[in-house]
Structure 1
Amino acid sequence: MDGNRLLSKTWLPGVELFHADFSGLTFARHSHDAFAIGAILQGVGGYQCRGQRHALPAGTLSLMNPEEAHTGHAESARLVYRMLYVEESRLPTLLGRKRLPDGFRCINPNDDGQVAAGLARLATEFERGDALALESELLAVLELVFVRHGGLRTARPAPRDGGVTAFLHDYLEAHYAQAISLEQLAGLVQRHPRHVIEAFRRAYGVPPHTYLLQRRVREAKRLLLSEQTSLDVALSLGFYDQAHFSGTFKRFTGVTPGQYRRSAAT
């Protein structure tokens, strides 16, 4: 069995997500030129690192610093895990900090599942390719794991709004059907992406990518009452595909697009 996938985006250099699902595969001693942030989903992973042999059951994290040599194999018949790789040179831009993480002191620390959940959301957005959602989830995962396990201090609150969120709100209202990246929004107001997310959430209760989805769903309700098909509505509003549209619509309304259309017609 080999269900491995390595996910990346040309517009997000230095960042990769490896979804591993294999039996019998082993990795010889090697290292990465990136921080590795992983979560074991099924089975037991094994490797040698820092002079010790480690066995990681499902539910635990696997953290590596750049250039840290290690092996890798499955201790169980099947092993499934997700591993995020972020080149060290990308951290200043992504984290927006003057003081960067010290590095991971413990390579398989205890965690409450939030890092693994963040990696799952990140994997979903890698598959969809929605830049705004993908970049937002990436920043959230990095902030979480480096504060918890990498010696990074909790970020200071974002600077005063100064009209930034009102401008971004109007921009999202005017361009809700277009592909928008977090970097693009940050560039419009000359703020770091993390500050954009924090300030917007403080003003409107949700981050920009959630607000954008809500706005698209609001418009979808109007379009579904016309002659357009659900697929046409999905594509016209910038959704990845009909399944993404249907899942998002139900997430915010409690019903599928088809159920909404039928209930409105009765």
Structure 2
Amino acid sequence: MSVGAEVRAWRPGLTGIVEVLHAHFPSHAYPSHTHDAWTVLIVDEGAVRYDLDHREHGLAQAQVSLLPPHVPHDGRSVRPEGFRKRVLYLAPDRLGDHLIGAAVDQPEYVDPLLRHRIHQLHGVLQDGLEDLEAQSRLTLIEERLGQHLRRHVIAPPDRYDAGVASRLRDVLDSRVADGITLEDAAKLVHAHPAHLVRAFSREYGMPPHRYLTGRRVDLARRYLLDGYPAAEVASLAGFYDQSHLTRHFRKLLGVTPSSFLRR
């Protein structure tokens, strides 16, 4: 490791992501190597130059890089001050071996929406509390990466489907405290996960995870008004702990649970 390097890596509890890496390398240069996963890379400071399959590429802050599994690549900073990056390593079956050649031909994308979605997912994974939100964001990221790999930057519009959205809402309403994974919800509703997120967001003006959080806050309010202590309410309403409840309660209502009850 180079002098002054900062690295944080962890395996989130999210199916499809095998590792998350946040790193600052003032001087480190990667030798040629391969991964067994898809590497989704964004640069937050500096710029990176790398060779992929013996072809030179560059990555700046406005871009997203997708490096395919099993293909040799290296990496070094363009600037003397080094670079700061965030990486998602996706399981190889999330995009498929048949798309590796397309990624070799075009591994960088100038796509502000994709980059923003990746940034948002890193924030959710760093928190580690919002399972459904992380699943939803990963699904939309993978879909958009697939569009780029198939040389279609803009996805074809979805058929309007209020029925899918309504069925998902019923599922969420029936499992407010227990929650449900996006994959399991898609099986129950008989829709692709990405289509499920878009249809619900279009119909109700918010993504499924935000709707579920709102329902949980509503449930927490009722338990609080019934006299349950906040620590117990957090578990009853589907939050991880009291601080998790307090954060979302304050975000939605502008006050903490204790202030909500104060006369």
Task: Note if contact 2:23-2:86 (Cα within 8 Å) is conserved in structure 1.
Answer: yes
Task: Note if contact 2:9-2:19 (Cα within 8 Å) is conserved in structure 1.
Answer: no
Structure 1 CA distance for aligned equivalents of residues 22 and 116 of structure 2: 14
Structure-1 residue corresponding to 2:240 = 240
- Pair 1:30–1:123, CA change in 2 (3 A): same
Residue identity matched to 2:120: R
- Pair 1:241–1:118, CA change in 2 (3 A): farther
Structure-2 residue corresponding to 1:2 = 6
Alpha-carbon shift at residue 223 of structure 1 (Å): 3.0
Structure 1 CA distance for aligned equivalents of residues 29 and 186 of structure 2: 42
Structure 1 CA distance for aligned equivalents of residues 29 and 10 of structure 2: 17
The secondary structure found in structure 1 opposite 2:158 is coil
Structure-1 residue corresponding to 2:256 = 257
The alignment status of 1:172 with 2:172, answered yes or no, reads yes
Structure 2 CA distance for aligned equivalents of residues 149 and 42 of structure 1: 26
Residue identity matched to 2:11: L
**Aligned match for 1:49, one of 49, 52, 55:** 52
Q: Deviations over 1:233-256 (max 9, x none)?
A: 333322234443333233333x13
The secondary structure found in structure 1 opposite 2:6 is coil
Structure-2 residue corresponding to 1:95 = none
Alpha-carbon RMSD across the aligned residues, in angstroms, is 3.1
Structure-1 residue corresponding to 2:39 = 36
Structure 2 CA distance for aligned equivalents of residues 243 and 207 of structure 1: 23
Alpha-carbon shift at residue 149 of structure 1 (Å): 6.2
Q: Deviations over 1:175-200 (max 9, x none)?
A: 10113100111111222212222332
Q: Deviations over 1:93-117 (max 9, x none)?
A: xxxxxx97943643334343x3332
Structure-2 residue corresponding to 1:188 = 188
- Pair 1:191–1:60, CA change in 2 (3 A): closer
Alpha-carbon shift at residue 13 of structure 1 (Å): 4.2
- Pair 1:8–1:262, CA change in 2 (3 A): closer
Task: Note if contact 2:50-2:75 (Cα within 8 Å) is conserved in structure 1.
Answer: yes
Structure 2 CA distance for aligned equivalents of residues 229 and 59 of structure 1: 47
Structure 2 CA distance for aligned equivalents of residues 247 and 142 of structure 1: 29
Structure-2 residue corresponding to 1:124 = 123
Task: Note if contact 2:24-2:83 (Cα within 8 Å) is conserved in structure 1.
Answer: yes
Residue identity matched to 1:125: V
TM-score by length of 2: 0.79
Alpha-carbon shift at residue 39 of structure 1 (Å): 0.9
Aligned residues: 254
- Pair 1:45–1:236, CA change in 2 (3 A): farther
The secondary structure found in structure 1 opposite 2:108 is coil
Shift >6 Å, 4+ stretches = none
- Pair 1:225–1:7, CA change in 2 (3 A): same
Structure 1 CA distance for aligned equivalents of residues 39 and 53 of structure 2: 15
Structure-2 residue corresponding to 1:96 = none
- Pair 1:263–1:133, CA change in 2 (3 A): closer
Alpha-carbon shift at residue 40 of structure 1 (Å): 0.5
- Name stretches of at least 5 consecutive residues in structure 1 with no aligned partner: 93-98
Structure-1 residue corresponding to 2:210 = 210
The alignment status of 1:67 with 2:70, answered yes or no, reads yes
Alpha-carbon shift at residue 209 of structure 1 (Å): 1.4
Task: Note if contact 1:224-1:257 (Cα within 8 Å) is conserved in structure 2.
Answer: no
Structure-1 residue corresponding to 2:158 = 157
